[in-house]
Amino acid sequence: MLASFDLTGRRALVTGASRGIGQAIAVALAEAGADVAITARDEGSLVHTADRIRAHGRKAHAFELDVRDIASIGPVANAAADAMGGLDILVNNAGYEEVRPSLDVDEMLWDRIVETNLKGAFFVAQAAARIMTESASGGSIINLCSLTTYVGIPTAVPYGSSKSGLLGMTHALSAEWAQAGIRVNAIAPGYFRTAMTDVFYENAAWQESMLEKIPQKRFGTMEDLGGVVVFLASAASAYITGACIPVDGGFLASI
């Protein structure tokens, strides 16, 4: 049974992998045996992630990519696949958030969030699928949804809208690409402290209030994410597509 989780010989692409959740996912895939191509808006910021991947004896390839630059997505995906000899796994992790009251949201902020989290994710998935369809073995695409996919969070309307759309995209692509052997799933991380969410954790009262709502009574750690991503990337989840798995300590189940 354990062999079905083994990613040896598989080739993965992880966007937004310079830190936090993206870095943890890239390293987890390497630990499971995959070679990993990683992207970020600043290629230099990927050095630490690449070092951690190579520490597990796997190959790492770093590329500069802003997923809002649609024209650059295809060439970067193709370059990653060429460097690794193919592409089997995509993790659509690149994201952006800025907390702002809804009455203060302007078009520029809305576009930046939605173009990064939803539009960019679609075109990265499209580029990956074009490569995967050339392989008889298909592939696995994993999108990063959020608790805001399911729950309304004040001051996070553009973000929640983009992440709700990402779930709809996951459902539609899973149905369309299944016959090509491409599975499309998602995970919805709960409360994890990252550079993007740090503004919340600076508030001790907020932390206390949120911990009361999480049945496991703790916030997530980066180690909590690796297993579910490896599962969805591997043959262990061969008959799962169109699903979104919350990784949230029971938060959604308890509300």
In three-state secondary structure terms, 209 is: helix
pLDDT at 136 exceeding the cut of 90: no
pLDDT of amino acid 241:
98
Angle between helices 157-177 and 120-132 (to 10 degrees): 20
Rounded to whole angstroms, the Cα distance separating 79 from 131 reads 11
Q: Across the chain, what does the average pLDDT equal? A: 96
Nearest to 226 by CA among 19, 25, 5: 25
Average pLDDT over residues 237-244: 98
Distance (Å, rounded) from C-alpha 12 to C-alpha 209? 38
- Work out the average pLDDT over 207-236: 96
- Tell me if residue 40 falls in helix, strand or coil: strand
- Residues assigned a catalytic role: 159
Q: What are the domain boundaries of the chain? A: 2-246
What DSSP element (H or E) covers 177?
helix 157-177
The verdict on pTM exceeding 0.75 is yes
The pLDDT tens digits for 180-220 are 999 999 999 999 988 777 878 888 998 999 999 999 999 99
Residue where the block lists tokens 């079905």: 4
pLDDT tens, position by position, 64-94: 999 999 999 999 999 999 999 999 999 999 9
pLDDT in the model for residue 81 = 98
Q: Domain 2-246: give its CATH architecture.
A: 3-Layer(aba) Sandwich (3.40)
pLDDT tens readout for residues 6-45: 999 999 999 999 999 999 999 999 999 999 999 999 999 9
> Is the separation of the CB atoms in 46 and 75 below 8 Å?
no
**Per-residue exposure over 142-152, b if at least 16 CB sit within 10 Å of its own CB, e if not:** bbbbbbbbbee
